[in-house]
Amino acid sequence: MDIQKIRWLREKLRQLEREMDGCFRPEGNCCGLTLSQCHTLLEVGNRGEVSLIDLATTLGLDPSTLSRTVNGLVLVGLINRLTDEKDRRCVAISLTEQGKKVFDQIEAIFNRYYSGVLGIIPEAKKDGVVESIALFADAVKKYNGSDECCQNEPPGCGDRSE
């Protein structure tokens, strides 16, 4: 692909990230939660009960990192953490009643937001936009899981010894 198109895509992705990040800051970083807590709560809400290991895999996090995020959500009463009595390494995560309410609030906020954004796009192009974003997200995930991903690091980026 033409390098100019790749640069344009990168610029638009940076712009998109800034615009979306700025939009949700007034919401208290996702209903008073950190972005990590918000992603965790949404994933648990969408999946129901899930193991800590499966949740960490889905979110692309180390289980110990996710455990700290989950601890914060347990402390504020949004998530239940159930340890298997036979195998203490098995931990099931689910939403509390308060967690379900916050989940519903976040879902409503994001549904209104994306409905408004899609409302600006011409009707004939909406399905194409949604399909293209899904294709792009799936391609990024697939590429990040490939052997090629880490081999494309620019020279000097990984060298911290200088």
Which of 46, 102, 96, 36 shows the shortest CA–CA distance to 67? 36
Residue 160, pLDDT score: 47
Domain boundary assignment for the chain: 3-145
pLDDT at 5 over 90: yes
Rounded to an integer, the average pLDDT of 101-111 is 92
> Residues 146-160: what's their mean pLDDT?
61
The angle at the Cα of 58, spanning 94 to 134, to the nearest 5 degrees, equals 115
Torsion angles phi and psi, residue 51, rounded to 5: -75, 155
Q: Is the pLDDT of residue 118 over 90?
A: yes
**Residue 92 backbone phi and psi in degrees, to 5:** -100, 135
Q: Does domain 3-145 have CATH number 1.10.10.10?
A: yes
Of the candidates 143, 129, 46, 133, which has an alpha carbon nearest to the alpha carbon of residue 95? Answer: 46
With the CA atoms of 93, 94, 96 and 101 taken in that order, what torsion angle do they form, in degrees rounded to the nearest 10? 130
68, two tokens: 């700290």
**Whole-structure pTM value:** 0.77
Residue 70 CA to residue 1 CA, distance in Å, equals: 42
Cβ of 49: how many Cβ atoms within 10 Å?
A: 11
Confidence of residue 31 (pLDDT cuts 50, 70, 90): confident
The tens digit of pLDDT for each residue in 42-86 reads 999 999 999 989 999 988 889 889 999 999 999 999 999 988 777
